[in-house]
Amino acid sequence: MKNKRSSALKKTAPLLLLAAPGLLYFLINSYIPMFGVFIAFKDVNYAKGIFGSDWVGFDNFQFLFKTTDAWIMTRNTLLYNLAFIVIGTICSIFIAILMAELLRKLYSKLYLSGLVLPNLISMVVLSMLVFAFLNADSGFINKSILGPLGLPEINWYSEAKYWPYLLVFIQMWKTAGYGSIVYFASIAGIDKSIYEAAKIDGAGKLRQIRTITLPLLKPTVIVLGLMSLGRIFNSDFGLFYQVPLNAGALYSTTQTIDTYVYRALMQLNDIGMSAAAGLYQSLVGFVLVLVVNAIVKRVNSENALF
Amino acid sequence: MNKKKGITALLMSVALAGSLLTGCSSSNSNSASNGDDSAKVEEIVFAMPSFNRIPDDLSKVTDAINAITVDKIGVKVDYRIYGPADYAQKVNLALQSGEKMDVFTTLGQFSNYVSKNQVAPLDELIAEHGKEMTAILEKDFGPDLLKATTINGEIYGIPVNKGMALPINFIYNADMLNSAGLSSADIESVDDLSAVFEAVKSAHADVVPFGPINVNPSDTNLVNLLKGTYKVDFLTDSSGVGVVVGDDGKVVNFYETDIFKDGVRMMRDWYNKGYLQKDAATTTITSMEMLSSGREFSYLGGYSGMEIGKSISAQTGRTIEAKRIAPFYFDTSAVNSVSWMVSSTSKAPEAAVKFLNLLYTDEKLINTILYGVEGEDYVKVDEHHVKFPDGKDANTVSYTAMFSTGIVGSESLQYQFEGISWSDIELKLRENKETERSPYFGFIFDQNAVKTQMSAVTNVVNQYLPGLVTGTLDPEAIIPKFVKALNDAGAADIIKSKQEQLDQWLATQGN
Amino acid sequence: MIQTRGEKAFVRFSTIMMGLIALAAFLPFLLIVIASFTKESSLLSEGYSFFPKELSLDAYIYLKASSYTFLRAYGVSFFVTFVGTAVGLLITSMLAYPMSRRDFKYHNTLAFVVFFTMLFSGGVVPSYIMWTQYFHINNTIAALIIPNLLANGFNVLLVRNYFKNNVPIDLIESAQIDGASETRTFFNIMLPLSVPVLATVGLFMGLAYWNDWINALYYVSKPQYYGIQNLLVQLMNNIQYLNSGQAGSAIGAGAVDLPSSAVRMAMAVLGIVPVLFVLPPLQKYLTRGVVIGAVKG
């Protein structure tokens, strides 16, 4: 018995030692500050100090629900995130497969820059670029495309109905290439002899992709998918605030939980209420991931996140 | 394999170097803060916003400041300087985390700091250590200045002492006006503007006659124009949901008043006639940029004094003139929006107030803070004016915070840059006293009871107001929706709470 | 290697598609570069254009004259990016390795512990208190490297996934039967076989460090520790702040000389261009797996 335990210790100890620096970092950087969530239940008063402030239960959460926008912002956040996860995964895998095909080409090095470049452009600059394309008076689309084609000009920043497509498109433009790098690395790691064998069996390119590449990418897709599910109540503030230029007419399709919280607390500047919003977003994501992970685990325990 | 080992070894050594570096630099900063051993002198942290480049090395200026303060009041100042966008963030982090932060300013958030108890009441300390300061505030503004920073009978802040009346100016390109066959005499009030825009538009087809002053969220300054013209007091929160018009003491929703409706109808009319850009509500280009490129004819802005035309001309390289078309109306937030306060967690509130006192009354101190070390960063031209040393400019001197003149201390003691007329400063101070004050001047609304409603209402205002004041939305269709959304968001609760607080406040005013 | 007709067609299709995608990525960037060289007045009257009427260097002259020390900021950025990525990569992969080992008792517990950090955070204030009052890293170069960026759950799980799925377990087992310690297995077998994912995660970390300005905003107030993004973001934020209603005319900042649209574009260019030089060589590491796969087979 004792022997068995010590041999198990011998086995785990070196591995724990390797993990130690990283775990220590997460403990300090992430777990210790997490005690701060209690601020979400406090009416912060600095004379009493953060710890001495009064407990107010769920009062700080009220502003998230006591608004007619509650439904709109929740719906928008969810639908955009679902669209980003599904369309983004498809686009990224598509690009990764193409990239893998062109590995040996001389100009393939340029492609990597091409994939990363949109991600380097900050949202503020991107919003200026989008404005250059869409503005009503001198925008590229109205002036150089719709005008010459004889189509009526569109006042983009006051027509909410176009923005779901615009935002999905912009998000894909910005992130699909960057996201494809992960898949590309996975494809690069696939044993080439598998493809050779399939080729000898007479499998064409498309069949190789379908029967070898895609199944081997499945674990990566599931892990990335689960990780994005955890953030399904969060949204990129820059994309939903800066890019639509904070235009009121577009709120029905651009308002997300994050932009609402920002706009609502601009004046109040209340850390209790912003902590409450963050906690709410995290909790929803957390529950969702636990559920989906449990399902994945039942189907194939290998692919589960934990 | 060998090469792999090389990379690993490299990673390790870099990691090591990184940790060494951390270790030694942090011990450096420790010894620096512990280095001071003079026991009698109290030390305070003083944080300043600067619109100029943040200088690399503050030690010379800090020494120059301390040479004055240690000698005169026995206070050693730890001088911090932050950019305007970082300022609130840095100060708030320090306050929230309990870091040492004694003297700081609000950039428009006065009542928030008070309602969260982040700032200390100063009555007794001012009475003891701030007599010279109260005297100069009274001389430059009038006896009631500190009312704007008084809540429940306690003074929580000292407003910056400067020309605070900001009458609405019509800022325009004089060359365009003249070539349209008009002159400045044709602009007397807002009612003349339609005709002016029409003339300019027909003379310069590709010019935008009228632009917004701010972008994102856009603001044509219509609200300020209406506030000044019709004496509207916003009662310290900028949402506009609870305001008093004139002196009837009745809190109403500004967006339901005819004043607002007529105002946005005028904007809509201008918009329909093509005086505003189609995307005025969302443009990312400011009027200043548009003016200097010759694409825009005019905008509305609140400016004190009479020299603004000159300084915008210099900045844009065009002939810009300004014409006042509406008066200013002093409500509380007009005065307390830039106030200096002492943190409620300060260990040395007395020293902080002594320092504030000196800040408002000592010519040498305030000008060291603004312009740096005399002879190195600036030279004096005459009694009131300075310039850069020969061969230097704002970017090459080692220190200047010259753009912060409107943020700190007393303007009457500040040096001006060469070329700015001193009589304009005197005019500004005179107007401080002559400008009409709201009867509710001094009332400060405590938002705490209606936090949830305030957050919802702020969102609604954000959604509708920019489109309305730039004319892009049709007021007839939108205002009813806007008002309904405000009511759904709890506007009535805010108005009720404000009315109660206002009635209470009026009762304590004792007359 | 002989290619069938179908394969050739597929390569052609890939070439064209990737060409289009790369074009879509480069053109807007080109527009930014051209705008930064466009004369301000023609930028405002004609809008952004690939063929502007008047070119000018004004924006860059303005930035040069602003006397912000760009060279030093580049130095800070490169140093922080290099050190941060190197240390972070080491920590990340060391943590990912035990998590990838199915025979390790706590592999799922570790995964959960790591994943949890991706969802919940205590907010800025608790972190700030901890880093400044207990670790005293404010106003040191460490403040730019350590908080938040050194390792994150996303990257750890990514590496774990690659270890788990792309490195055959038999290789590890046979090495350990030969008497190799865990540390040696990790450094000599796991890492060399995982170059593509290390390059990927290294790239992600490097970009995160290069683009970061939050740490400096919170923890640093001395300009000598400002990286290039801080300089740019600070300039940009100040412009935005002064243009927004917040600053208002109350502050009377009417006299502040604000950089124009062209300057903002020039600032974006300055932040992006150095990265473009680093990227192409990285391609080699990203595709290293192909070579190793061949050796193994």
- pLDDT, tens digit, for every residue of A50-68? 788 889 999 999 999 988 8
Q: Residue window 173-232, chain C: list those with CB within 8 Å of chain A.
A: 181-183, 186, 194, 196-197, 199-200, 203-204, 207, 211
Tell me what pLDDT residue B9 has. 40
Distance CA A196, CA A202 (A): 10
Mean pLDDT of A194-209: 88
CB contacts, 8 Å: A262 with chain C: none
Contact C122 A35 (CB under 8 A): yes
Give the model's confidence band at A129: pLDDT under 50 very low, under 70 low, under 90 confident, else very high.
Answer: confident
Cβ contact (<8 Å) for A127 and B284? Answer: yes
User: Does the beta-carbon distance from B97 to C125 stay under 8 Å?
Assistant: yes
Q: How far apart are CA B331 and CA B234, in angstroms?
A: 7
Would you state the structure tokens that stand for residue C181, as one six-digit string?
């310690």
DSSP state at residue B163: -
Which residues have CB under 8 Å from B419's CB, separation 6+? none
Q: What is the mean pLDDT of residues B188-202?
A: 94
- For the beta carbon of residue C197, count every other beta carbon within 10 angstroms: 28
The Cα B53–Cα A150 span in angstroms is 50
* In chain A, residues 167-206 whose CB comes closer than 8 Å to chain B: none
Residue identified by tokens 């109905």 is A161
Superfamily holding B40-163+332-437: Periplasmic binding protein-like II (3.40.190.10)
B110 within 8 A of B333, measured Cβ to Cβ: yes
Choose among B309, B272, B259, B290: nearest CA to B198. Answer: B272
Determine the pLDDT at residue C67: 64
Of A161, A163, A173, A89, the residue nearest A123 (C-alpha): A173
Q: Which residues on chain A are in Cβ contact (under 8 Å) with C283? A: 108-109, 112
SS3 B379: strand
Cβ of A282 and C158 within 8 Å?
no
Closest CA to B18 of C72, C158, C89: C89
Structure tokens at B32: 């620096």
C288, A188: Cβ pair inside 8 Å? yes
pLDDT over 80 (residue B147): yes
Contacts of A44 in chain B (CB under 8 A): 116
CB contact under 8 A, C44 and B99: no
Give the model's pLDDT for residue B465.
Answer: 93
User: Looking up tokens 């690939």, which residue turns up?
Assistant: C50
Average pLDDT of the residues of chain B: 86
The answer to whether residue C262 neighbours chain A at the CB level (below 8 Å) is no
The pLDDT tens digits for A266-297 are 777 788 899 999 999 999 999 999 999 999 99
Q: Which of B109, B281, B459 sits opposite A260 (nearest CB)?
A: B459
Can you give the residue ranges of every domain in chain A?
1-29, 40-303
Q: Is B461's pLDDT higher than 80?
A: yes
CA B281 to chain centre: 22
* Residue A260 backbone phi and psi in degrees, to 5: -60, -45
How many angstroms separate the CA of residue A135 from the nearest CA in chain B?
Answer: 7
Q: Does B152 touch chain A (CB under 8 A)?
A: no
> How far B482 CA sits from the closest chain C CA (Å)?
21
> What residue ranges in B246-343 does DSSP mark as E strands?
296-302, 320-326, 339-342
The DSSP H or E segment spanning B433 is: helix B422-434
The size of the A-B interface in CB pairs under 8 A is 109
- Alpha carbons B184 and A137: distance in angstroms, whole number: 30
CB atoms within 10 A of CB A260: 27
Residue C78 touches partner A, C-beta closer than 8 Å: no
For the record, the structure tokens of B404 come out as: 């912060």
Which among C69, C86, C238 is the nearest to B11, CB-wise? C86
B284 vs A44, A245, A263: nearest CB: A245
Region of poorest pLDDT, from A106-110, B52-56, B247-251: A106-110
CATH number of A40-303: 1.10.3720.10
Is A31–C158 a contact, with Cβ atoms under 8 angstroms apart? no
Each residue of B218-232: pLDDT tens digit? 788 899 999 999 999
> Inter-chain contact A128–B284, Cβ cutoff 8 Å?
yes
Taking the Cβ of residue A48 and every Cβ of chain B, the question of whether any pair is shorter than 8 Å is answered with yes
For residue B216, the model assigns a pLDDT of 65
User: B309: which residues sit within 8 A by CB, 6+ positions away?
Assistant: B171, B320, B321, B322
User: pLDDT, tens digit, for every residue of B347-400?
Assistant: 999 999 999 999 999 999 999 999 999 999 999 999 999 999 998 887 788 898
Between residues B34 and B468, which one has the greater pLDDT? B468
Q: What is the pLDDT of residue C243?
A: 63
Q: Is A154 on the interface with B (CB under 8 A)?
A: no
Q: What is the per-residue DSSP string for B361-395?
A: H-HHHHHHHHH-SBTTTBEE-SSSEEEPPTT--TT
Whether residues B89 and C217 touch (CB distance < 8 A) is answered with yes
Q: Which region among A59-68, A123-132, B316-325, C284-293 has the lowest average model confidence (pLDDT)?
A: C284-293
- How far apart CA B94 and CA B86 sit, in angstroms, is 12
Give the amino acid at A196: E
All residues at 6 or more sequence positions from C79 whose CB lies less than 8 Å from its CB, including other chains: C141
Output the pTM of the full model.
Answer: 0.88
Which of the four pLDDT bands, split at 50, 70 and 90, describes residue C295? very low
CA distance B244 to B439: 10
Reduced to 3 states (helix: H, G, I; strand: E, B; else coil), residue A152 is coil
CA atoms within 13 A on the CB side of A139: 25
**Touching check for C91 and chain A: CB below 8 Å?**
yes
Whether the CB of B238 is below 8 Å from some CB of chain A: the reply is yes
Mean pLDDT of A230-242: 92
- CA-based nearest residue in chain A for residue B111: A268
Mutate to test the interface with A, among C3, C7, C48 (most CBs of A within 10 A): C48
**Mutation test of the interface with chain A: which of C2, C45, C103, C115, choosing the one with the most A Cβ atoms within 10 A?**
C115
Q: pLDDT band for B326, please (50, 70, 90 cuts).
A: very high
Distances (CA, A) of B51 to B26, B65, B394, C242: 29, 20, 11, 9
Q: Render B189-220 in DSSP notation, one character per residue.
A: SGGGHHHHHHHHHHH-TTSEEE--SBTTTTB-
| Over residues B297-314, mean pLDDT | 86
Find the mean pLDDT for residues A156-183. 93
Distance CA B97, CA C218 (A): 12
**pLDDT value of residue B425:** 87
3-class secondary-structure state, position A13? helix
Distance CA A203, CA A189 (A): 20
Closest CA of chain A from C36, distance in Å: 12
Burial class (CB in 10 A: 0-12, 13-18, 19+), B355: buried
How much is the pLDDT for A240?
95
Q: Which 3 state secondary structure label does DSSP give A90?
A: helix
Parts of chain B belonging to CATH 3.40.190.10: 40-163+332-437, 166-220+285-329
DSSP-derived 3-state class of residue B324: strand
Range name among A35-49, B326-340, B455-469 with the lowest pLDDT average = A35-49
Nearest 5°: phi and psi at C38? Answer: -90, 145
What are the phi and psi torsion angles at C289 (to 5°)? Answer: -55, -30
| Cβ separation A289–C157 shorter than 8 A | no
- Can you give the pLDDT at residue C294? 37
The rounded distance, in Å, linking the Cα atoms of B371 and B394 is 10
Between B336-340, C158-162, C247-251, the lowest mean confidence (pLDDT) is in: C247-251
Per-residue pLDDT at B23: 34
Measured distance CA(B393)–CA(B381) in Å, rounded: 15
* Token pair for A172: 């894909």
Query: C83, C85, C218, C221: best mutation site toward chain B, by most B Cβ within 10 Å?
Result: C221
pLDDT value at B204 more than 90: yes
Tell me the average pLDDT across B143-149. Answer: 89
Question: Residue B466, preceding bond cis, omega within 30 degrees?
Answer: no
Q: So what's the ipTM on this one? A: 0.89
Output the pLDDT for position B36. 43
Does A305 contact chain B (CB < 8 Å)?
no
The fold adopted by the segment(s) B166-220+285-329 is D-Maltodextrin-Binding Protein; domain 2 (3.40.190)
Q: Do B295 and C45 touch (CB under 8 A)?
A: yes
Computed over every residue of chain C, the mean pLDDT equals 84
Residues in chain B: 511
Distance (Å, whole) CA A60 – CA A58: 5
Whole-number pLDDT of residue A5:
61
Helix/strand/coil for B173 = strand
For B30-43, the DSSP string reads HHHHH----SSSEE
| Nearest partner of C79 among C234, C205, C209, C231, judged by Cα | C209
**Interchain CB distance below 8 Å, C87 and B18:** yes
Chain B residues with CB under 8 Å of C145 CB are 18, 22
Q: Which of A231-245, A248-262, C37-51 has the lowest mean pLDDT?
A: C37-51
- Measure in Å the smallest separation between the Cα of C214 and chain B Cα atoms: 11
Structure tokens at B158: 């000292």
Higher confidence at residue C255 or residue B124? B124
Chain B positions touching C83 (Cβ under 8 A) are 14, 17-18
| A72 interface with B at CB cutoff 8 Å | no
CA C161/CA C149 separation, integer angstroms: 20
Using DSSP, state whether C153 is helix, strand or coil: helix
Q: Would you tell me which residues 285-344 of chain B have a C-beta closer than 8 angstroms to some C-beta of chain A?
A: 344
What's the CA gap between A166 and A174, in Å, rounded?
12
What pLDDT is stored for residue B471 in this prediction? Answer: 93
Output the pLDDT for position B16: 35
Alpha helices (H) along B38-192: 59-73, 84-97, 110-115, 123-129, 131-140, 174-179
Distance to chain B for C116, nearest Cα, Å: 25
Number of A–C residue contacts, CB under 8 Å:
286
- The count of residues in chain A is 306
pLDDT bracket for residue B406 (50, 70, 90): confident
Euclidean distance between CA atoms C151 and C146, whole angstroms: 9
What's the pLDDT at C3? 66
For chain A, positions 19-38, list CB contacts with chain B under 8 A. Answer: none
- Phi-psi category of residue B251: left, alpha or beta, with phi > 0 → left and psi -120 to 50 → alpha: beta
Residue B18 has pLDDT above 60, yes or no: no
Closest Cβ opposite residue C91 in set A22, A28, A143: A22
**Closest residue to C268, CB basis, from A31, A122, A205:** A122
Q: Do C290 and A192 touch (CB under 8 A)?
A: yes
Q: Which residues contact B360 (CB under 8 A, 6 or more apart)?
A: B132, B133, B136, B137, B158, B161, B366, B409, B410, B413
Percent with pLDDT over 90 in chain B: 59
* Residue among B34, B96, B339 with most chain C CBs within 10 A, to mutate: B96
Residue A16 near residue C98, CB atoms below 8 Å: yes
Coil, helix or strand at residue C82: helix
What CA–CA distance (Å, rounded) separates C183 from A14?
7
Nearest beta carbon to residue A68 from set B455, B466, B485:
B485
Query: In C, which residues are within 8 Å of B8 by CB distance?
Result: 187, 191
* Most B-contacting residue of A245, A259, A260, A261 (CB-CB within 10 A), to test interface: A245
Round to whole Å and give the CA distance between A234 and A71. 15
Residues of C in Cβ contact (< 8 Å) with A191: 293, 296-297
pLDDT per residue over C92-108, tens digit each?
999 999 999 988 889 99
Three-class SS state of B82: strand
Give the per-residue SS3 of B443-454. CCCCHHHHHHHH
